Amino acid sequence: MTGRRSTSAVSARDVKREDEQVTFKVSRTLGFGHCDPAGIAYFPSYFDIMVEVMEEIFAALGSPWPTMMGERRIGVPTVKLDVDFTAPSRHGDRLDFAVRVARLGRSSLELHYRVTTRGRPVWTARQVIVAISLDTQRAVPWPDDLRAALAAHLETADAHDLAP
């Protein structure tokens, strides 16, 4: 992700944490290519943007994907995604993502997304991703360094580190 992308409002190093340092804040501008002919967000575009946001979060956690995937051979496919769309967003809107680490398993991770534009809720999502070996395509435990970084961001209220 580079600062030259038209959809990028912040770079990876600008990912911010708030609320006792458990929420990642990332913003993206909804571009022309993300919208239908009426200028309303086309929902698959949200998922492309969501992956960009994930990539920024992993970079902020010290695990940039080019290294994680290319050298460590770890991928993070999505196995569950539950989304509620509550209001449309439009071409040019800034989408503000607040992302929480809700649950950390042996190889799974649940992330909760709250997306707003101008303070208005637009969509929320609960996503489960799994660390896999890109060589075997099977789940692997989170590496110790990444587990420690993720555990440090677990929500305080109802989150659990479920490592055995």
Ligand X SMILES: CC(C)(COP(=O)(O)OP(=O)(O)OC[C@H]1O[C@@H](n2cnc3c(N)ncnc32)[C@H](O)[C@@H]1OP(=O)(O)O)[C@@H](O)C(=O)NCCC(=O)NCCSC(=O)c1cc(O)c2ccccc2c1O
Phi, psi of 43 (to 5 degrees): -60, -35
Distance, CA of 38 to chain centre: 27
Scan residues 27-66 and list those touching ligand X (CB under 6 A): 51
Does 70 participate in binding ligand X (rule CB under 6 A)?
A: no
- Which amino acid appears at position 69 of this protein? M
Binder of ligand X out of 39, 64, 75, 88 (CB under 6 A): 75
What the block records as the tokens of 51 is 């992956």
State the nearest-atom distance from the C-beta of 29 to ligand X, in Å. 22
Of 39 and 42, the one with the shorter C-beta distance to ligand X is 42
Torsion, CA 132, CA 28, CA 91, CA 51, rounded to 10: 0
Q: Does 94 bind ligand X (CB under 6 A)?
A: no
The residue range among 3-11, 72-80, 88-96, 152-160 that interacts with ligand X, by the rule CB under 6 A, is 72-80
> Considering the rule CB under 6 A, would residue 128 count as an interface residue with ligand X?
yes
The beta strands (E) that lie in 30-119 are given as 74-75, 78-85, 94-104, 108-117
> Regarding beta strands 160-161 and 94-104, do their DSSP bridges make them parallel or antiparallel, or are they unpaired?
parallel
Binding stretches for ligand X (CB under 6 A): 51, 75-80, 105-108, 128, 130, 132, 137-139, 162
